[in-house]
Chain A
């Protein structure tokens, strides 16, 4: 069970055609197993975010093949991808992205409401649980625009957790956090991996953070140089 492959990238190549043809990702091959905590490191501009957008199914403009739980994602219709995304993938952006006109709680609840598998009370209960996990439950009823950057980041992590996804992808999710909260997020991630067999793929510049993960993928100029 623990050895099952959850995410697989096969020969992924990506080009930007504007302003000039630019080969961003070059022959990316790797797998992530169930319950694995993987970090991606690399210099700024080496293509980490670009890779993550492809892995998260939001970007479909690439060459190569992508599998999630053995299911080929490449070539699927984007309506279908949206469904897969909401059910199996949690995403934390490089910059905290919340709907500013909604409360913190509503922000966390939205993906679950969209998925529509649970009743409203269950969703609200779960959302509160996730917020408690990240120690921001007391901000639950504030508007998302009225909390600090670090708090937003934690809300975004809570939102990524709400649908109990198979894999969470994070683009520098601790980038805006102080060491105490970064430590806390690290702990939460580790617990999730151990308790729920969740897989994590986290882009980070923080070497301390990276060394605590199971595996580090290092990138340079669009290549993976070390797995």
Chain B
């Protein structure tokens, strides 16, 4: 039979009559939880940003035709020396087109796969930007712009003009920012593009593309797939790359292996391409959690100390309570309640502080050339971090309160009363 209202009221009186100590203990929790939330929100925000930076624009599986020597040389087909020792000197890469063989059926099959969010074609062509007598080397990539926007956030990197104009305007080009700057060109101007075989085409600049990586921005431009096929004088099925985005990134490795086996193509999955990046994310997460948990444990020790002190100060009260009919368990609950109240109040303010400072960070200007779409520091407002924070606050205050409270439970009132 525990009368909670009276236990609560005694706890409240104890806490309020020592408002300074209570405040300091609660502040420890506030500090721990607040820092945890700020740190986790900011770090995961940053992780999310970097993920977005790399994962969003990197295809999960990239399919292309690599120029490489044949694995099976002609002599290997010659039955009579099957068991002989063969040496082939000066092996040259096999001559193939850079185009993917049977690209359209391959794409259709991929797009029919329920695991695939989208598989879209690209055509990479080497060109020259002609400006008067100067010729600048560059790449022109033919894309399906609407799909690029849908799957790879292409629109984020078009800093001027409108990406959808590519689809509408037959001779449009999205110039790389660096290349455009070199030739003093801007949206609305016309740029002359010459192919390797020497044909020159005038293209109208409908937008400026900026990835943030200057070695790309200085040479690369985009046009619609059809336009590039026309410039190269190739047919509708001439495609050099297929970029695949999956619903579940974890399936990329399996898909890449399957494609390589099934079709005569090179398929690179994102995990292989960005192995070091994953490691970075994992280490950042590890540091975040290690620091936060340390902070919360320190806050827990603060509570432990203060409750311990409180119990020494409250020896008399404990003896009186026990003498007037309160059981050891009641006394234990009284001190546990105090610990949990400190945790609750401290945790509540910790959430407020954490959220408040997260909002401030979220509004701090953070502009960098590399990230044209980012204007402020990234913050992740995931509610689960707030829940984790409060749960940890309650658990740590419970543990910090439990030991002193057990001591209070065991105190012998006679000893205290006689000690006077």
Contact = CB atoms under 8 A, between A and B. Distances in A.
A78 B6 contact: no
A116 B320 contact: no
Contacts of A102: 13
A97 B319 contact: yes
B367 interface: no
Nearest to A82: B327
Nearest to B7: A114
Given A85-B323, A101-B17, A93 B417 contact: yes
Interface in A91-148: 91, 93-95, 97-102, 110-111, 113-116
Contacts of B320: 97-99
Contact of B322 (A58, A83, A100, A113): A58
Contacts of A93: 323, 417
B201 to A, nearest CB: 89
Contacts of B326: 82, 86, 114
Contacts of B6: 110, 113-114
B1 A97 contact: no
Nearest to B5: A113
Interface centre among A78, A82, A111 (most CB of B within 10 A): A82
4 smallest A-B Cβ distances: which pairs?
A86-B325, A82-B327, A101-B17, A111-B324
Interface residues of B, number: 27
A63 B47 CA distance: 70
A116 B321 CA distance: 15
B45 interface: no
Contact of A116 (B3, B322, B413): B3
B330 interface: yes
Given A56-B323, A99-B317, A114-B324, 15 more contacts: A49-B418, A78-B327, A79-B327, A79-B329, A82-B328, A87-B325, A94-B420, A95-B417, A99-B320, A102-B13, A110-B321, A114-B325, A114-B326, A116-B1, A163-B325
A223 interface: no
A58 B414 contact: yes
A59 B312 CA distance: 21
B13 A110 contact: no
Contact of B323 (A49, A58, A79, A95): A58
Nearest to A86: B325
B327 A101 contact: no
Interface of A: 49, 53, 56, 58-59, 78-79, 82-83, 85-87, 91, 93-95, 97-102, 110-111, 113-116, 159, 163
A53 B415 CA distance: 10
A115 B325 contact: yes
Interface string B1-33: 101011000100110010000000000000000
Contacts of A83: 1, 325, 327
B271 interface: no
Contacts of A115: 325
Contacts of A82: 322, 325-328, 330
Contacts of A56: 323
A159 B323 CA distance: 11
Interface in B76-123: none
B316 interface: yes
Interface centre among B3, B5, B323 (most CB of A within 10 A): B323
Nearest to B329: A79
12 contacts: A56-B323, A79-B328, A79-B329, A82-B330, A91-B323, A97-B320, A99-B321, A100-B317, A101-B17, A110-B324, A114-B330, A163-B325
B328 A159 contact: no
A83 B325 CA distance: 6
Contacts of A159: 324
Interface string B317-349: 101111111111110000000000000000000
Contact of A97 (B3, B323, B328): B323
A86 B328 contact: no
Given A99-B320, A101-B14, A114-B6, A59 B414 contact: yes
A217 to B, nearest CB: 21
A100 B316 CA distance: 10
Interface string B398-420: 00000000000000011001101
B3 A114 contact: yes
Given A53-B417, A102-B13, A114-B330, A91 B324 contact: yes
A113 B2 CA distance: 11
Interface in B274-324: 316-317, 319-324
A98 B324 CA distance: 11
Nearest to A77: B327
Contacts of A113: 3, 5-6
B379 to A, nearest CB: 43
A97 B321 CA distance: 10
Contacts of A49: 418
A121 B82 CA distance: 106
A56 B10 CA distance: 24
Contact of B13 (A59, A97, A101): A101
Nearest to B16: A101
Nearest to A115: B325
Given A53-B417, A79-B329, A86 B324 contact: yes
B414 A85 contact: no
A192 B413 CA distance: 28
Nearest to A84: B325
A40 to B, nearest CB: 17
Contacts of A99: 317, 320-321
A222 to B, nearest CB: 16
B184 to A, nearest CB: 80
A102 B324 CA distance: 15
A159 B418 CA distance: 20
A87 B326 CA distance: 11
